[in-house]
Structure 1
């Protein structure tokens, strides 16, 4: 091989390695580092070079395979019929060329096309036997995918049983995340200081690959089914066209997108694509193009496929909607959980059908990673057609007058210290009395696991804040019946009940108050541990890091968070106001280890529905007299308290010979202790 060809081979090898790395980050790690447009450009460059030098094409080139390898942690699934990817068209000329190839193969036969929305999600296969869903898998590399049956079953738009029984049916579909769910998911992740998903497709892929199906269930995924893979239908033939297939799939109870059209020629195809290019922003989910398929299934069979793509279909990719503008300033806002979020103020510019004048920058790490400065000229787009986002800084346009941005050290809403806990991306306000966090803080303070104030739900809290009656949680203890009666939906009895419930909360155990304060990372269990160790909230206020870390179950992250909270002057002032109102800040004395009480040092497990006690009430009762509540049954369990419909924990207790008692037995044990 000549020196010129060797240099070209090295260039191609380097490009392949770069694409494979991006494939790995996207499909395996769910953490892409480039945009879809940048990825498409790399792939197009490689395809062009391999067309010019076909003797340099290798079997392991990214152009010769469909997608990424299955991820470890899931069983692999062999697809009966390969799930091929589609070739891409980026303009009218490429669609016309696709039509020319179809016509060249079909000759004088008449043909038409079905044009569908190209849903931006994750392709999956669903297999039904006798009408029952038995397996779900990702596309993977086209031949082998990942078994994600359990996760797919959490998606409510996927029927577990078809409307009509069929011997065997494998269908293909696209799982996606609606735009609103994508925004909400990223908002929650940002508040927790977790990495953000780049777009709805990345979010859907990450959600389906969760090893815990409960996480998938909470992500509000959905699906559109678009085609048939393998099928065995004795006595019933398959539909003869793709348009009929979509109707038939819908009749089985499968979710099919209604936005598709039968087009007589490529001119109608192009017109329909243009219509949706203009309308796509109005959809509640993201699309990144259109899919064009020859309608007749016999003609699809005649056209065949290459090793990686069908010759009877093509994807028309919409051009990226981006615009250039200038960052005039970077400001920060305080979220309802105290997260400080930087936002770029931009020269107004039109993107995806609307005028954009600001873009969220999420956190300081992203600003540093992209090197965004005040005064920079930048390229922006809408992530998921919704969220304005800075894609790239045009550093060649810098004049030297641009300014670096730094996160504030004091909260702009209340002046409290702003901290960034180790291991988190988010900066947070430490002020418990911060007005920006007031609503969320009040709702948490009154919640069942915290101060458990009956009648003080989100709607009432909102009324109190809007009426100016409450500026922080200590103001709750100033409320009067007369003040409440001036609000809507309050009558004498409801007002009296709420004031009484607030007054009663003063007698709550200390651990409830510690949890109610909303200290970052301090949940109900940590609050109980802190209350038991310190015995008095005033001692906890002055604890140092060394003392906190020495406590069993309290790690460096909780210790750091407690210290940051307690050293903030406004938080200390708030606690003093609560003390002045008579709120209990002292823990009850724990039962003496040698007192002989029946639950001292005993481990109990609760199962089934209890008649008189709620689950958290029973737990608190047991712990109050020295017992410990566990979530699982083992040989070390002393009692299993069984209510109605006890389930597997009861069965395991019987198997292990653990003593099973009823709710009345538990109450008798507790009474005998006093």
Structure 2
């Protein structure tokens, strides 16, 4: 072997190891370290070298592998035929080469294609039998994937039952909308947790959970784009002969389909589609990392077949990422509602992906140290998920000689209190609590926000005016404000003061769950607040709840229970809640209708097992109602189980109940028993 061949062999080995490493980061850990474009460049280089030097080519090369490893703890689903990936093209010339190649293989001058937006999410394969969802799996390595059936059932946009009794296996993409991604990352950052790099990783991390409750708590959605196979004879299968017909059929039976697909009869029409969505994709609420161009005729797809990794009849056109170089003018530290210190890079304004950017999140100290971002550096920025500006990397060849590593503050920049980093957290927190003006400000803004107490007219600017005037020093002071107080504020006239005073008064009637959410306990979002309100019924009972009482509620774990008990035991918080009660705020849950002293807790102390699927309401709603009535929803049947409520296909729990002679009720029998006690379900 010549010295040149040795160098080539070494480079090929290096590329294979690098690609394998980044595959693991992307598919298995959902924590990529490089952009798609950088990854594609590595693959393209490896493919080029393997073609030029076939003696080093391997059938087991990493470029022939699909997806990542399967987590056996989730259960394994095998695929036949395999679930393939797609070959990528990156410009018009490569796309035209693909178009011509397909035409040559089919001996056609103008083959017809269907063009679709390529959703940047997690690929799933779902099976329906006679119109009912029976199995869902991730793509995995293409030969087998992880069983995520229970998690997929938590995604509202994926129907459990179709409009037609079809039996088929379909493929789609689970994704997280951009708006949901921003809200999730903001919440995680506020709670001191690591943030997701982009919506794709957030979706993957949310779906690949051992606990379906975590998936249910994330706002996931899905689009479907392929009928992989019909699993039994169907009148529909012979009627669907093209890809665009398949998409229309999926939509007809009730499955979500990305609506912007197009049937193209020429290469010019394909390029029109490419150019249109290269700019317009930024208007969507979901990420697209490219387009998929598929031969429309399904019978001709079968003729062309596939390689070990990808079909010959389709290709992915990847949009180029937009990264822009700019200067870091400063690094600012802001303090959030729960005391988290968040660093932000202040940038020389620059145009990125359609907007002018002057600030970019640095998330936490670890990110700053890992990327070695310094004031005065020139950095490349992009929009994560094309939404949130972030610093990608430092261009160290342009670093001025006077720069120094950034030192995270040891005291709060807003109040001077010590900052601490708790074990297992990525963020530092101010220890000043409500004595910290920054935390107080954020707490007031959150309390008045639309999803909390919804006090119209009390946004950030009004909160700043009230704080600067010394009119409020904590949350309950809001309800002591009078019109004459508001008239003292700049830009407040008679009408605006009256409107805000009325809005404050109206907010007193907001539900208990809204109030619990508004108080701003760590880890208590809207869903958990609703669970706490329906389970305990009154603020008084919630305040008296023990750590064990909270853990007895489905979907409430140790972290939430500890946070609630800690918050409600602090003297200042207890005083604020007592004052809110005396000022007239609602302290009783809306679902306790006609019985506000809680005598409707007819299932108090009873351990109840719910098994199977239900018709009149979703299972999770039934379990929440049982908890509201005082019952404890258990996951297994024992001699202490008071009753088992059995729906359709109840499984082994029903047999265990029969063996232990535990009372078994059908869904309807349980509702009738509650009705005889004068209790009916109220959402």
Same fold (TM over 0.5): yes
Residue 21 of structure 1: how far off its partner (Å): 1.5
Q: Distance in 2 between matches of 1:153 and 1:134?
A: 10
Counterpart of 1:459 in structure 2 is 455
- In 1, the alpha carbon distance for the partners of 2:576 and 2:212 equals 42
- 2:229 maps to 230
Residue of structure 2 equivalent to 1:196? 195
Asked if the contact 1:604–1:640 (Cα under 8 Å) also holds between the matched residues in 2, the reply is no
Q: Structure 1 residues 164 and 529 mapped into 2: Cα distance closer, same or farther (>3 Å)? A: closer
1:652 is displaced (CA, Å) by 6.2
In structure 2, the residue matched to 1:550 is: none
Structure 1 stretch displaced more, 100-109 or 183-192: 100-109
Equivalent position SS for 1:24: helix
In the TM superposition, residue 33 of structure 1 has moved relative to its aligned partner by: 2.1
Task: Say if 2:86 and 2:310, in contact at 8 Å, map to a contact too.
Answer: yes
SS at match of 1:95: helix
Q: Check the 8 A contact 1:181/1:220 in 2, yes or no.
A: yes
Task: Report the counterpart of residue 40 of structure 2 in structure 1.
Answer: 40
Q: Does 1:311 align with 2:318?
A: no
Please state if 1:281 is matched with 2:282.
yes
Bigger drift between 24-33 and 389-398 goes to: 24-33
Partner residue in 2 for 1:31: 31
2:191/2:523 contact within 8 Å kept: no
Q: SS at the partner of 2:215?
A: helix
Partner of 2:151: 151
| Pairs within 5 Å for 1:473-492 | 473=475, 475=477, 488=499
* Matched residue, 2:360: 359
Q: SS at 1:73's partner residue?
A: helix
Note closer, same or farther for the CA distance 1:286–1:582 as it changes in structure 2 (3 Å cut).
closer
- Aligned position for 2:423: 422
Q: Distance in 2 between matches of 1:583 and 1:634?
A: 41
Tell me how far 1:475 sits from its aligned partner. 4.1
**Matches of 2:634 and 2:137, distance apart in 1:** 32
Question: Normalising to structure 1: TM-score of the pair?
Answer: 0.73
The offset of 1:176, in angstroms, is: 0.9
Deviations 1:196-246 (A, max 9, x none): 111111111111101111111121111111111111434441412112221
Q: Tell me, in whole angstroms, the C-alpha distance in 2 between the residues paired with 1:614 and 1:66.
A: 45
Deviation at 1:53, TM superposition (A): 1.5
Q: CA RMSD in A?
A: 4.7
Deviations 1:113-155 (A, max 9, x none): 2111111111111111112111111111122222211111111
Would you say the 8 A contact 1:95–1:266 is kept in 2? no
| Contact 1:129 1:169 (8 Å CA) reproduced | yes
Distance 1:295 1:365 in 2: 48
Q: CA deviation at 1:91?
A: 0.8
Which stretch of structure 1 is more off in the superposition, 226-235 or 456-465? 456-465
Distance 1:255 1:492, change over 3 A: closer
Q: How does 1:284-299 map to 2 (within 5 A)?
A: 284-299=285-300
Counterpart CA distance in 2 for 1:607 and 1:440 is 41
2-side partners of 1:531 and 1:98: how far apart? 62
Q: Number of aligned pairs?
A: 576
C-alpha distance in 2 between matches for 1:517 and 1:239: 53
User: Is 1:50 paired with 2:47?
Assistant: no
Q: Distance in 2 between matches of 1:54 and 1:256?
A: 42
Instruction: Tell me what 2:247 maps to.
Output: 246
**Conserved in 2, the CA contact under 8 Å of 1:607 and 1:642?**
yes
Counterpart of 1:117 in structure 2 is 117
State the match for 1:102 in structure 2. Answer: 102
Pair 1:175–1:630, CA change in 2 (3 A): closer
Task: Name which of structure 1's ranges 39-48 and 457-466 shifts more when overlaid on structure 2.
Answer: 457-466
Pick which of 472-481 and 341-350 moved more: 472-481
Inter-partner Cα distance in structure 2 for 1:530 and 1:65: 51
Counterpart pick for 2:472 among 463, 470, 473? 470
Residue 74 of structure 1 is matched in structure 2 by 74
Gaps of 5+ in 2: 487-493, 533-540, 549-556, 583-603, 610-620, 664-672, 675-683
1:248 to 1:414, Cα distance in 2 relative to 1, 3 A: same
Q: How does the TM-score come out when normalised to structure 2? A: 0.73
